[in-house]
Amino acid sequence: MLKFPKDFAWGAATSGPQSEGNFHKPNQNVFDYWYEKDPDAFYDGVGPDTASNFYNDYKKDIPLMAKAGIRSLRTSIQWTRLMADVDKGIVDEDGVEFYNNVIDCLLDNGIEPYINLFHFDLPIDLYKKYGGWESKHVTDLFADYAEKCFELFGSKVKNWFTFNEPKVILDGEYLYQFHYPLKVDGPAAVQVAYNINLASAKAVARFKKWRKENNSDAKIGTILNLTPAYPATNDPEDVAAAEFATLWDDNMYLDPAVKGHFPEKLVKILDDANVLFDSTPEELKIIADNTIDVLGVNFYHPERVMRPSVSPDSLQDWMPDIYFDNYEMPGRVMNVDKGWEIYPKTLYDIAINIRDNYGNLPWFVSENGMGVSHEERYLDDKGVVQDDYRIKFIKDHLTELHRGIEAGSNCHGFFVWTGIDCWSWKNAYRNRYGLIRNDIHTQTKTIKKSGQWYAKLSENNGF
């Protein structure tokens, strides 16, 4: 039996915009706005309006999650629900009451809240008025909002996180057109990456000031989707392509958050290409002085790359992928529904990388899971999804994680994505990830076979 360390956190992750539904929100985020403009852009035309109805169902959903062995829940506060006026920083009292009630309900059910402050859900007004994360002013507004959250909920919440997967904000909004505003602008993406790192550091600064004034033992971190790039071969050009991909995808966020500065190699490449971000010494000092306490790592699939087929010196618009081409390894194991390779060993590699290159910082797996479409095909005659594939996926990843912990990596938790099937951006409910099935037509929620297994895993602290 694989036993995990004492006090290991067995949890699940979700987010406000993917679970709550838009009931009584005073503001729209970019997805609400996009869905209103173009509902056909979303799978089956299903938008975020209802999601998993957590806004109305949380008093039933949370005990159900506890029954599935979830002892910690990472979710997010919606900026667009908490604030009545996102520009002036005025809170909405109904939003405050809702999040207070959710946090109280979690604690009453023995579930530790892990609260994230931003999960892709930029208020549309801040995009229209200032250009969203292209604006440094928005980094100040984010810090104001974060500080308000610490003041309102800090007495109950011990685990805070600034951003979820900043890389996806760049990929979706500025490079590959799967999140609104669907831009293709490599240099803008570079500036957005810098501004998000700056916004995170500003929020950490406000948190540390609040923590000191309130004599709190709470911690703050960020959530990064780390997908280390493996070269197709040991040829130096493939290795160089993989090095750039890792610098761009991982280290551009990991280094500022943990070490307080951007990777020198990446800065030089961007500078040589005349796309380096605009920065000031004062801003760089904020980043240097406000590193995180804890890191959350989302991991689903590895990244494999090879040398680009076209030289990056060719006349072309600057994009990060001019330095590498994606590589599909023959014979790889796939989650075909999602189009992602399954390679659990990467989780061991991540654990060793954090141990050896990032001071063995305390960290946890903040998301890991398997999305499968048309999951109703696995329902048995009692209405329970027999998702043995998900149990195997989690077991295989936990085995590699356990190996990393045995090797000395400072990992203290595993959060599955997700507890209850939730809405997922453009794909809506196409792929289901939950330990608990949600019939979105009736909002009936039923524990799957994986949820029954996860309860035993959590109770036994291993498998």
Q: Is residue 132 part of a domain?
A: yes
Which is it for the CA torsion 368, 162, 410, 217, positive or negative? negative
CATH code: domain of residue 429: 3.20.20.80
Look at residue 173 and tell me whether its pLDDT is greater than 90.
yes
Look at residue 432 and tell me whether its pLDDT is greater than 90.
yes
Query: Given 20, 243, 303, 367, which residue is catalytic?
Result: 367
Look at residue 135 and tell me whether its pLDDT is greater than 90.
yes
Give mean pLDDT, residues 385-389: 98
Q: Please say if 243 is a catalytic residue.
A: no
Residues 117, 76: contact at Cβ < 8 Å?
yes
Q: Is residue 448 part of a domain?
A: yes
Cα of 83 vs its chain's centroid, Å: 22
Give mean pLDDT, residues 336-341: 92
Total domains present in the chain:
1
Q: What pLDDT shows up at residue 426?
A: 87
Q: Is residue 3 part of a domain?
A: no
The tens digit of pLDDT for each residue in 71-119 reads 999 999 999 999 999 999 999 999 999 999 999 999 999 999 999 999 9
How much of the chain, in percent, has pLDDT values that exceed 70? 100
Look at residue 226 and tell me whether its pLDDT is greater than 90.
yes
Q: Which CA distances in Å does 80 have to 36, 119, 219, 432?
A: 16, 11, 24, 26
Which two structure tokens, joined as six digits, stand for 153? 């909920």
Give mean pLDDT, residues 200-225: 98
Residues 425, 46: contact at Cβ < 8 Å?
no
Residues 302, 347: contact at Cβ < 8 Å?
no
Mean pLDDT for all residues in the chain: 97
Look at residue 286 and tell me whether its pLDDT is greater than 90.
yes
DSSP 8-state assignment for residue 5 = P
Q: Is residue 319 part of a domain?
A: yes
119: exposed, middle or buried (Cβ count in 10 Å: 0-12, 13-18, 19+)? buried
Look at residue 270 and tell me whether its pLDDT is greater than 90.
yes
Query: Given 20, 147, 165, 283, which residue is catalytic?
Result: 165
The tens digit of pLDDT for each residue in 142-159 reads 999 999 999 999 999 999
How much of the chain, in percent, has pLDDT values that exceed 90? 99
Give mean pLDDT, residues 212-236: 97
Q: What angle do CA 302, 307, 313 make, to 5 degrees?
A: 130
CA distance 436 to 422: 10
Q: Is residue 158 part of a domain?
A: yes
Q: Is residue 216 part of a domain?
A: yes
Closest residue by Cα to residue 370 from 378, 380, 382:
378
Q: What pLDDT shows up at residue 227?
A: 84
Q: Is residue 238 part of a domain?
A: yes
The tens digit of pLDDT for each residue in 339-355 reads 999 999 999 999 999 99
Q: Domain span at residue 103?
A: 9-460
The two beta strands, 112-116 and 83-85, are: unpaired
Q: Is residue 47 part of a domain?
A: yes
Single-letter code of the amino acid located at 224: L
Look at residue 392 and tell me whether its pLDDT is greater than 90.
yes
Give mean pLDDT, residues 281-301: 98
DSSP 8-state assignment for residue 283 = H
DSSP 8-state assignment for residue 49 = T
Look at residue 228 and tell me whether its pLDDT is greater than 90.
no
Q: Please say if 459 is a catalytic residue.
A: no
CA distance 60 to 156: 21
Look at residue 337 and tell me whether its pLDDT is greater than 90.
no
Look at residue 377 and tell me whether its pLDDT is greater than 90.
yes
Q: What pLDDT shows up at residue 378?
A: 97
Q: What pLDDT shows up at residue 113?
A: 98
Which two structure tokens, joined as six digits, stand for 272? 């040589």
Single-letter code of the amino acid located at 245: A
